[in-house]
Protein backbone atom coordinates (compact mmCIF):
# COMPACT_ATOMS: atom_id res chain seq x y z
CA UNK A 1 0.00 0.00 0.00
CA UNK A 2 1.25 3.48 -0.87
CA UNK A 3 0.21 6.23 1.57
CA UNK A 4 1.07 9.90 1.19
CA UNK A 5 0.46 13.31 2.71
CA UNK A 6 0.34 16.60 0.84
CA UNK A 7 -0.51 20.17 1.76
CA UNK A 8 -2.05 20.96 -1.61
CA UNK A 9 -2.66 24.68 -0.91
CA UNK A 10 -6.14 24.81 -2.52
CA UNK A 11 -7.58 21.58 -3.86
CA UNK A 12 -9.76 23.40 -6.40
CA UNK A 13 -6.84 25.34 -7.85
CA UNK A 14 -4.65 22.24 -8.03
CA UNK A 15 -7.19 19.52 -8.89
CA UNK A 16 -5.64 18.81 -12.31
CA UNK A 17 -2.16 18.49 -10.80
CA UNK A 18 -3.60 16.37 -8.00
CA UNK A 19 -5.29 13.93 -10.36
CA UNK A 20 -2.20 13.69 -12.54
CA UNK A 21 -0.01 13.07 -9.49
CA UNK A 22 -2.32 10.36 -8.13
CA UNK A 23 -2.18 8.53 -11.43
CA UNK A 24 1.56 8.96 -11.82
CA UNK A 25 2.48 8.04 -8.26
CA UNK A 26 0.10 5.11 -7.83
CA UNK A 27 -0.91 6.35 -4.39
CA UNK A 28 -3.61 4.33 -2.61
CA UNK A 29 -4.31 6.66 0.32
CA UNK A 30 -3.63 10.40 0.35
CA UNK A 31 -4.00 12.77 3.28
CA UNK A 32 -4.62 16.32 2.09
CA UNK A 33 -4.31 19.62 3.95
CA UNK A 34 -5.17 23.27 3.27
CA UNK A 35 -8.12 22.53 1.00
CA UNK A 36 -9.31 26.17 1.01
CA UNK A 37 -12.83 25.23 -0.05
CA UNK A 38 -16.20 24.44 1.46
CA UNK A 39 -17.10 20.78 1.74
CA UNK A 40 -19.76 21.24 -0.95
CA UNK A 41 -17.14 22.62 -3.35
CA UNK A 42 -14.70 19.74 -2.84
CA UNK A 43 -14.13 17.99 -6.22
CA UNK A 44 -15.42 14.64 -4.99
CA UNK A 45 -16.95 13.67 -8.34
CA UNK A 46 -13.67 14.03 -10.26
CA UNK A 47 -11.82 12.07 -7.60
CA UNK A 48 -14.53 9.40 -7.57
CA UNK A 49 -14.16 9.07 -11.34
CA UNK A 50 -10.46 8.44 -10.71
CA UNK A 51 -11.33 5.69 -8.21
CA UNK A 52 -11.00 7.56 -4.91
CA UNK A 53 -13.48 7.94 -2.07
CA UNK A 54 -13.05 10.99 0.13
CA UNK A 55 -13.59 11.92 3.78
CA UNK A 56 -13.64 15.73 3.91
CA UNK A 57 -13.63 18.21 6.77
CA UNK A 58 -13.70 21.77 5.42
CA UNK A 59 -15.52 25.09 5.78
CA UNK A 60 -14.23 27.26 2.95
CA UNK A 61 -11.52 29.19 4.77
CA UNK A 62 -7.77 28.63 4.62
CA UNK A 63 -7.95 25.31 6.48
CA UNK A 64 -9.60 22.05 5.48
CA UNK A 65 -8.40 18.44 5.43
CA UNK A 66 -9.30 15.22 3.64
CA UNK A 67 -8.43 11.56 3.29
CA UNK A 68 -8.62 10.05 -0.19
CA UNK A 69 -8.63 6.27 -0.62
CA UNK A 70 -8.98 3.70 -3.37
CA UNK A 71 -8.67 0.78 -0.90
CA UNK A 72 -11.76 1.46 1.20
CA UNK A 73 -12.88 4.24 3.52
CA UNK A 74 -14.50 3.43 6.85
CA UNK A 75 -14.97 4.74 10.40
CA UNK A 76 -14.45 8.37 9.42
CA UNK A 77 -14.10 10.97 12.16
CA UNK A 78 -13.91 14.76 11.84
CA UNK A 79 -12.19 17.00 14.34
CA UNK A 80 -10.17 16.28 17.44
CA UNK A 81 -11.91 15.02 20.54
CA UNK A 82 -12.16 17.95 22.95
CA UNK A 83 -10.18 20.02 20.46
CA UNK A 84 -9.62 23.71 21.25
CA UNK A 85 -11.32 26.61 19.50
CA UNK A 86 -9.81 29.79 18.14
CA UNK A 87 -11.85 33.00 17.99
CA UNK A 88 -14.87 31.03 19.11
CA UNK A 89 -14.81 28.35 16.40
CA UNK A 90 -13.46 24.86 15.95
CA UNK A 91 -11.36 24.91 12.80
CA UNK A 92 -11.44 21.97 10.34
CA UNK A 93 -7.89 20.72 10.84
CA UNK A 94 -8.20 16.96 11.41
CA UNK A 95 -10.01 14.05 9.80
CA UNK A 96 -9.55 10.29 10.25
CA UNK A 97 -10.45 7.16 8.31
CA UNK A 98 -9.59 3.47 8.12
CA UNK A 99 -8.32 2.50 4.67
CA UNK A 100 -7.47 -1.09 3.78
CA UNK A 101 -6.93 -1.99 7.41
CA UNK A 102 -4.71 1.05 8.15
CA UNK A 103 -6.00 3.84 10.39
CA UNK A 104 -4.86 7.37 9.46
CA UNK A 105 -5.38 10.92 10.66
CA UNK A 106 -4.82 13.80 8.22
CA UNK A 107 -3.85 16.87 10.26
CA UNK A 108 -3.13 20.51 9.58
CA UNK A 109 -1.56 21.90 12.74
CA UNK A 110 -2.13 25.62 13.38
CA UNK A 111 0.70 27.88 12.22
CA UNK A 112 1.11 29.77 15.49
CA UNK A 113 1.81 33.08 13.73
CA UNK A 114 4.21 34.58 16.30
CA UNK A 115 5.67 33.44 19.61
CA UNK A 116 3.48 34.99 22.28
CA UNK A 117 0.50 35.43 19.95
CA UNK A 118 -2.81 33.84 21.07
CA UNK A 119 -2.54 31.61 17.98
CA UNK A 120 0.74 30.21 19.30
CA UNK A 121 -0.91 29.18 22.58
CA UNK A 122 -3.77 27.72 20.52
CA UNK A 123 -1.24 25.71 18.50
CA UNK A 124 0.19 24.14 21.65
CA UNK A 125 -3.29 23.33 22.97
CA UNK A 126 -4.19 21.83 19.60
CA UNK A 127 -1.14 19.56 19.64
CA UNK A 128 -2.05 18.43 23.15
CA UNK A 129 -5.59 17.62 22.00
CA UNK A 130 -4.11 15.68 19.06
CA UNK A 131 -2.01 13.67 21.49
CA UNK A 132 -5.05 12.85 23.61
CA UNK A 133 -7.11 11.96 20.55
CA UNK A 134 -4.64 9.45 19.08
CA UNK A 135 -3.24 7.83 22.24
CA UNK A 136 -5.43 4.72 22.10
CA UNK A 137 -4.84 4.07 18.38
CA UNK A 138 -1.10 4.73 18.70
CA UNK A 139 -0.78 2.06 21.37
CA UNK A 140 -2.88 -0.48 19.46
CA UNK A 141 -1.89 -3.40 17.26
CA UNK A 142 -3.44 -2.04 14.07
CA UNK A 143 -1.18 -0.05 11.70
CA UNK A 144 -1.83 3.59 12.53
CA UNK A 145 -0.31 6.92 11.52
CA UNK A 146 -0.79 10.64 11.87
CA UNK A 147 0.18 12.39 8.63
CA UNK A 148 0.14 16.01 7.62
CA UNK A 149 1.48 19.51 7.85
CA UNK A 150 2.65 19.86 11.45
CA UNK A 151 4.01 23.39 11.07
CA UNK A 152 6.93 22.33 13.29
CA UNK A 153 10.46 21.43 12.22
CA UNK A 154 11.38 18.55 14.58
CA UNK A 155 15.14 19.23 14.62
CA UNK A 156 17.62 21.96 13.73
CA UNK A 157 18.62 20.18 10.52
CA UNK A 158 15.01 20.38 9.34
CA UNK A 159 15.39 24.06 8.39
CA UNK A 160 17.81 25.49 5.86
CA UNK A 161 19.35 27.97 8.31
CA UNK A 162 18.46 27.97 11.98
CA UNK A 163 19.64 31.56 12.36
CA UNK A 164 16.95 32.66 9.92
CA UNK A 165 14.30 31.38 12.34
CA UNK A 166 15.65 32.92 15.52
CA UNK A 167 12.73 34.02 17.68
CA UNK A 168 10.18 32.61 15.23
CA UNK A 169 7.64 29.83 15.39
CA UNK A 170 8.15 26.31 14.00
CA UNK A 171 11.47 25.75 15.81
CA UNK A 172 10.76 26.66 19.45
CA UNK A 173 11.40 24.34 22.37
CA UNK A 174 7.69 24.42 23.23
CA UNK A 175 6.60 23.24 19.78
CA UNK A 176 9.25 20.52 19.63
CA UNK A 177 8.31 19.36 23.13
CA UNK A 178 4.71 19.02 21.97
CA UNK A 179 5.86 16.85 19.05
CA UNK A 180 7.97 14.75 21.42
CA UNK A 181 4.93 14.26 23.65
CA UNK A 182 2.97 13.08 20.61
CA UNK A 183 5.70 10.57 19.76
CA UNK A 184 5.66 9.37 23.36
CA UNK A 185 2.24 7.84 22.73
CA UNK A 186 4.05 5.13 20.74
CA UNK A 187 4.64 6.92 17.44
CA UNK A 188 7.86 7.42 15.49
CA UNK A 189 8.95 9.42 12.46
CA UNK A 190 8.96 6.83 9.66
CA UNK A 191 10.61 9.04 7.02
CA UNK A 192 14.37 8.72 7.57
CA UNK A 193 17.07 11.37 7.15
CA UNK A 194 18.88 11.65 4.85
CA UNK A 195 16.82 10.44 1.95
CA UNK A 196 17.98 10.81 -1.65
CA UNK A 197 19.48 14.23 -0.92
CA UNK A 198 21.06 15.90 2.09
CA UNK A 199 18.15 18.08 3.16
CA UNK A 200 14.76 16.41 2.55
CA UNK A 201 12.65 19.53 2.99
CA UNK A 202 8.91 19.43 2.30
CA UNK A 203 8.04 23.15 2.18
CA UNK A 204 9.59 26.11 0.36
CA UNK A 205 8.13 29.62 0.42
CA UNK A 206 7.05 31.00 -2.97
CA UNK A 207 9.04 34.18 -2.33
CA UNK A 208 12.73 35.04 -2.78
CA UNK A 209 13.53 31.99 -4.95
CA UNK A 210 13.35 29.76 -1.89
CA UNK A 211 12.77 26.58 -3.88
CA UNK A 212 15.60 27.00 -6.41
CA UNK A 213 17.92 27.95 -3.55
CA UNK A 214 16.60 25.05 -1.41
CA UNK A 215 15.71 27.35 1.47
CA UNK A 216 13.13 25.02 2.90
CA UNK A 217 11.74 23.31 5.97
CA UNK A 218 10.74 19.75 6.82
CA UNK A 219 7.35 20.24 8.43
CA UNK A 220 5.21 17.62 6.62
CA UNK A 221 5.59 14.46 8.67
CA UNK A 222 4.43 10.86 8.99
CA UNK A 223 4.28 9.54 12.54
CA UNK A 224 3.39 5.84 12.72
CA UNK A 225 2.89 3.36 15.52
CA UNK A 226 4.98 0.21 15.88
CA UNK A 227 2.81 -1.85 13.51
CA UNK A 228 2.89 0.89 10.87
CA UNK A 229 6.64 1.50 11.17
CA UNK A 230 7.36 -2.22 10.91
CA UNK A 231 5.48 -2.38 7.60
CA UNK A 232 7.37 0.51 5.95
CA UNK A 233 9.45 -0.57 2.95
CA UNK A 234 10.29 2.85 1.48
CA UNK A 235 9.70 6.56 2.09
CA UNK A 236 10.52 9.69 0.13
CA UNK A 237 9.67 13.33 -0.53
CA UNK A 238 8.43 13.84 -4.10
CA UNK A 239 10.42 17.02 -4.66
CA UNK A 240 9.66 16.97 -8.39
CA UNK A 241 6.01 17.83 -7.68
CA UNK A 242 7.11 21.16 -6.16
CA UNK A 243 8.49 22.21 -9.57
CA UNK A 244 6.74 24.03 -12.36
CA UNK A 245 3.92 26.51 -12.81
CA UNK A 246 0.99 26.14 -10.44
CA UNK A 247 2.73 23.94 -7.87
CA UNK A 248 1.83 23.92 -4.21
CA UNK A 249 4.48 25.32 -1.89
CA UNK A 250 4.64 21.85 -0.25
CA UNK A 251 5.82 18.57 -1.77
CA UNK A 252 4.09 15.23 -1.17
CA UNK A 253 5.64 12.83 1.33
CA UNK A 254 5.17 9.19 0.31
CA UNK A 255 5.44 6.00 2.37
CA UNK A 256 5.20 2.43 1.04
CA UNK A 257 3.86 -0.29 3.33
CA UNK A 258 3.85 -4.07 3.15
CA UNK A 259 0.56 -4.79 4.92
CA UNK A 260 -0.24 -8.12 3.32
Residue 120 lies in a domain: yes
Annotated catalytic residue: which of 160, 203, 236, 250? 250
Binding residues for Mg(2+): 7, 34, 149, 151, 249-250
pLDDT score, position 198: 58
- pLDDT for 223 equals 98
Task: Provide the pLDDT for residue 62.
Answer: 86
137 is catalytic: no
Question: Is there a domain that residue 260 lies in?
Answer: no
Catalytic, out of 149, 158, 220, 256: 149
Supply the pLDDT for residue 197.
55
Residues at the binding site are 7, 34, 149, 151, 249-250
189 within a domain of the structure (yes/no): yes
Can 149 be counted among the known catalytic residues?
yes
What domain count does the chain have?
1
Host domain of residue 142: 2-255
Residue 235 lies in a domain: yes
What's the CATH number where 13 sits?
3.60.10.10
The single residue of 52, 57, 108, 236 carrying the catalytic annotation is 108
pLDDT by residue for the chain (260 residues), tens digit each? 999 999 999 999 999 999 999 999 999 999 999 999 999 999 999 999 999 999 999 998 889 999 999 999 999 999 999 999 999 999 999 999 999 999 999 999 999 999 999 999 999 999 999 999 999 999 999 999 999 999 999 999 999 999 999 999 999 999 999 999 999 999 999 997 655 555 689 999 999 999 999 999 999 999 999 999 999 999 999 999 999 999 999 999 999 999 97
250 part of the active site: yes
pTM of the predicted protein model: 0.96
Note the pLDDT of residue 195: 55
Q: Is residue 201 in some structural domain? A: yes
Q: Could you give the CA distance from residue 191 to residue 220 in angstroms, rounded to a whole number?
A: 10
Kindly state whether residue 135 falls inside one of the protein's structural domains. yes
pLDDT at 4: 98
Amino acid sequence: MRIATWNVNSVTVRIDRLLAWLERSGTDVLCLQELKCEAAAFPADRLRDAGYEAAVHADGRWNGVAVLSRVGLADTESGLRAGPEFDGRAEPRAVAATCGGVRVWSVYVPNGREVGHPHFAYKLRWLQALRETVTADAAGERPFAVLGDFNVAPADEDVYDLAAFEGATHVTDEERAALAALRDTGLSDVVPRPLKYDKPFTYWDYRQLCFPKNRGMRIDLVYGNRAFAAAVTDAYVDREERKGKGASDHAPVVVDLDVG
